[in-house]
Chain A
Amino acid sequence: MSPLLEVRDLQIAFGGVKAVNGLSFSADAGEIVSVIGPNGAGKTSAFNCITGFYKPVGGKVVLDGADITGKRPAVIAATGVTRTFQNLRLFPDLTVLDNVRGGMHLYGGQNFVDALFHTPRYRKSERAYTREAHRWLDFVGYKGGRGIPVRNLAYGQQRQVEMARAMARKAKLVLLDEPGAGLNHSEKQELLELCRKIRDLGAAVVLIEHDMGVVMEVSERVVVMNFGKEIADGTPDQVKANPAVIEAYLGKADDEPVPPPTAAAVHDAEAAANEAAGSDGSEGGRG
Chain B
Amino acid sequence: MSDNVDTSRAPRRIGKPASRVSRLFESRQLGWAAFAIAVLFPFVLASNYAMSIGTTAVIFILLASGLNIVVGYCGLLDLGYIAFMAVGAYTAGILSKAWELPILFTIPAVVGMCILAGLIIGGPTLRLRSDYLAIVTLGFGEIIRLTANNLSVTGGPSGIYGIPGVELFGLDLSAPVPFYYFCVVVVALMVLGSARLGKSRLGRAWRFVREDEDAAEAMGIHTYKVKLAAYIFGAIWGGIGGVLFASHLSAISPQSFVFLQSALVLMAVVLGGMGNTRGVVVGAVVISLLPEFLRDLGNLRYVIFGVVLVAVMVLRPQGFWPSRAYEPEQPKDVKDDAGPGPGAPVATAKEGTP
Contact = CB atoms under 8 A, between A and B. Distances in A.
A202 B328 contact: no
A92 B12 CA distance: 10
Contacts of B325: 93-95, 98, 148-149
Interface residues of B, number: 56
A115 B197 contact: yes
A63 to B, nearest CB: 12
Given A73-B218, A90-B215, A172-B347, 20 more contacts: A72-B222, A74-B220, A74-B223, A77-B218, A90-B211, A94-B208, A106-B220, A107-B351, A108-B353, A108-B354, A112-B229, A115-B197, A115-B203, A116-B197, A127-B337, A131-B337, A132-B341, A152-B11, A170-B346, A201-B346
A287 interface: no
Interface in A131-182: 131-132, 134-136, 139, 145-149, 151-152, 165, 167, 169-172, 174
Contact of B348 (A77, A112, A203): A203
Residues of B contacting A: mostly: loop
A132 B341 CA distance: 8
Given A95-B327, A148-B326, A198 B214 contact: no
Contact of A128 (B199, B328, B337): B337
B108 interface: no
A92 B203 CA distance: 16
B207 A94 contact: yes
A92 to B, nearest CB: 6
Contacts of A92: 9, 211
Nearest to A107: B352
Contacts, number: 187
A89 B326 contact: no
A89 B347 contact: no
Among A102, A106, A149, A174, max chain B CB count under 10 A is at: A102
B124 interface: no
Given A94-B211, A151-B9, A172 B341 contact: no
Interface string A214-250: 0000000000000000000000000000000000000
9 contacts: A83-B218, A94-B325, A98-B327, A112-B229, A112-B233, A165-B219, A167-B345, A170-B351, A201-B345
A66 B229 CA distance: 29
Interface of B: 9-12, 14-16, 193, 196-197, 199-205, 207-208, 211-212, 214-223, 229, 233, 325-331, 333-334, 337, 339, 341-342, 345-354
A169 B350 CA distance: 10
A201 B9 contact: no
Interface of A: 29, 51, 53, 72-75, 77-78, 80, 82-83, 85, 89-95, 97-98, 101-112, 114-116, 118, 122, 124-125, 127-132, 134-136, 139, 145-149, 151-152, 165, 167, 169-172, 174, 198, 201-203
A169 B326 CA distance: 23
A254 B325 CA distance: 60
Among A29, A92, A169, max chain B CB count under 10 A is at: A92
Contacts of B193: 116
B200 A115 contact: yes
B211 A105 contact: no
Contacts of B331: 130
Given A78-B220, A102-B216, A202 B346 contact: yes
A198 B229 CA distance: 35
Contacts of A169: 219-220, 351
